[in-house]
Structure formats: structure tokens, C-alpha cells
Amino acid sequence: MWNLDRNGLLRRGAAMTDGATSREIDIAVVEGTLCRVDRGVYIDGTVLDGLSRYQRKVAVYRYRCFAAATRGESDRLLSHHSAATVLGLDTLSPDLERVHFTLNGTSGGSVKNRISVFHTGPVPDPDVQTVNGVPITCLARTAVDVALSSSFAGALAVFDSALKKGVDLADLTERLKAPRKGVVQARHALRYADAGAANPGESWCRAQIIEARLPVPVLQKRYDLSDGSVAYADHDFDGTVILEFDGKIKYSDAYLRPGQHPSEIVIAEKLREDKLRELGLDVVRTVWDELRAGTMIPVLRKHLAARGIHGR
């Protein structure tokens, strides 16, 4: 019924030109068949089915970036957290409220309002790509832009994700050579970047480990279990202690097989953990709340010390 554009957007004016009434659009929003992502802009509401609350927020923000970028102005390109979201770069604590643009110019700095952030700086042609006709900073440029404006953990997370997506480490290193605000911390984060991190939560775990001067773990170490299955440890310390991050995203509908209940995943995780302990491993688990509260490190330090592993 709805004539969506190539970015999956429906603009109210265009829909009414095609014959829809204002009442029909409003009813569709109430019923959930349409979802409003920006003023006068909607998407097919069913694309959000089964997503967690956070996943829905990210998805809606991604569509809002396209809506803002195709509103008419042609002298700007999506950048920073907006580009990261569109390109699928994982970031820690992304700004999902305002759309970020970069204007090509010689001066630096940024201007913010309630719904947008406009950055200014040189954007050479190799730093620009297009997604569905929308100009956007490339993966490497986007990762560096986000890292320069983030905490150490945030920089590590976006660099981990960039490497996982195939961005060349040498390219990122070259982009951080020039002195500018945030570059020292970004360089420090890049030294520890690892494509093995599965998500920003694991990156944050490792950032806290590094800042606490504990030994840097090996990521995704393989273990062959007694039942013939294989487990990959999130963070492995000398083959004796494992730190597992539980982001709980795998319990959302989008990650469940048809007919699968979240409790089945919980049971499977418990059995996997038991099999790892059979190998003599000490398994430590952590969650988002512990990372936010800073309580993960004291617990991990205690477990490491019990196995004779101490800080650097």
C-alpha cells in the first residue's frame, strides 16, 4: 500500500500525493504498520518486529539519518556516530538523538542544535562514499572521527569494529599521525584494537582491563569440550581464567530460532560454562551494569590473583 523510497522511507506529503489521507497515515501509525522516524517521515513498522528496545532505537535512528540526509541540502555528508550507525560500525554509547553531518571546509569545530550536529573540516574525495545515494564518510574516516571524540573505551570499541570490518590498521594509524584534539588517547586505543572483540561490551571489558593494568587477554580462544562441541572464550587469561561478557542481546526475539525460548539459551550457556570448568578453567561472567558501576575489575582481579596472575 505504501510507496517507500529506496531508503525505506515514506514522506507524508508524497503519500498524500499518491492518494493517502492524513487520517489513514495516522491510523497506520497507531496500529504499528507505520512508524514515525522524523517529522513527516515514516517507515514500515514491521521491520522493527522482534527487536529489543535498544535495537529498535538504533534502527529508527538509522532511518532518521537517511531522512535528514535526503531533505534537500547537498553540501554535507553523514559522519561521526550517524555514519557509524549507517555503516554498521559498533560504537559504545552512541549519540542516537542528533544526526551528525560534516561540511567540507578548512576550519574545524562543530555547531550543535537539538536535532543535528554540524562538524566542519577537510574531507578529501577518498574519505567519501555513498549509501543508497547518500554521501557519507568512509569506514576508516568514520572510525577515526568517532574515536577522537570518545573515551578510551569508546575509541577502542570503534577501532575493534573497524578492524573486524576489514579496515586496514595502517590506514587508521596514518590518519592519527597529525596532532589534534583527542589524538593521543585515540592512538593509545588503536594500539590495543583487536578484530576479535564481538561487540562494544567486550571492548569495554578490555578497556577496563587495560586501564586497570591487568594482563591483556587473548580474545576468542578456542576450547574443545568433552561433548564434542567447541567454545570460544570472550577473554582468556593464560588458559586458566576466562571472562565472559553477557550483553543479553542474544535473548531477544531477533536472535532466537523459530520456536526457541530464551530459557533454552540460558540453559545452553550454563551447560557450556560447566564444560569449560571441567577443563579446569575459572569462568567469570560480567554484564553491562557491572561495567557501568566499575565493579567488574575487583572481581576479576581476585579470580586472577587466585590463579597467580597479577597486574602489569
Break the chain into its structural domains and give their ranges.
72-192, 200-306
Distance CA 269, CA 113 (A): 45
Q: What is the three-class DSSP state of 310?
A: coil
Q: Which residue has the cell 592512538?
A: 187
Asked if residue 266 has pLDDT above 90, the reply is no
Average the pLDDT over 230-239 and give the result.
96
pLDDT score of 257:
45
The three grid cell numbers given for residue 269, joined into one nine-digit string: 550457556
| Angle, alpha carbons 63-64-65 (nearest 5°) | 90
The position carrying cell 559498533 is 90
Handedness of CA 155, 157, 162, 163 (dihedral sign): positive
Rounded to whole angstroms, what are the CA distances from 255 to 52, 239, 249, 262, 310? 10, 29, 8, 9, 37
At the topology level, CATH places domain 200-306 in: Endonuclease; Chain A (3.40.960)
**pLDDT confidence tier of residue 50, bands split at 50, 70 and 90:** confident
Cα 198 to Cα 254: distance, rounded to the nearest angstrom? 17
Alpha-carbon dihedral 85, 249, 47, 118, rounded to 10 degrees: -20
For the whole model, what pTM was predicted? 0.90
Whether 279 contacts 295, CB under 8 Å: no
Of 155 and 247, more confident: 155
Instruction: Enumerate residues 6+ apart whose C-beta is below 8 A from 163.
Output: 169, 193, 194, 195
Over pLDDT 90: what percentage of the chain? 79
DSSP for 130-188? EETTEEEE-HHHHHHHHHHTS-HHHHHHHHHHHHHTT--HHHHHHHT-S--TTHHHHHH
- 77 versus 256: the higher-pLDDT residue is 77
Distance CA 89, CA 80 (A): 10
**CA separation for the pair 18, 1 (Å, rounded):** 10
pLDDT in tens, 286-306: 999 999 999 999 999 999 999
Q: What is the pLDDT of the chain when averaged over all its residues? A: 91
Burial class of 310 by CB neighbour count within 10 A (0 to 12, 13 to 18, 19+):
exposed
| Position 235 pLDDT exceeds 50 | yes
For residue 20, report the phi and psi dihedrals to the nearest 5 degrees. -75, 150
Q: What is the DSSP string of 209-257?
A: HHHTTPPPPEEEEEEE-TTS-EEEEEEEETTTEEEEE--SGGGSGGGSP
Q: What is the pLDDT of residues 58-106, one digit of tens each?
A: 999 999 999 999 987 677 899 999 999 999 999 999 999 999 999 988 7
CA distances from 84 to 48, 72, 123, 207 (A): 20, 22, 16, 20
For residue 122, give the amino acid letter: P
The pLDDT of residue 252 is above 50: no
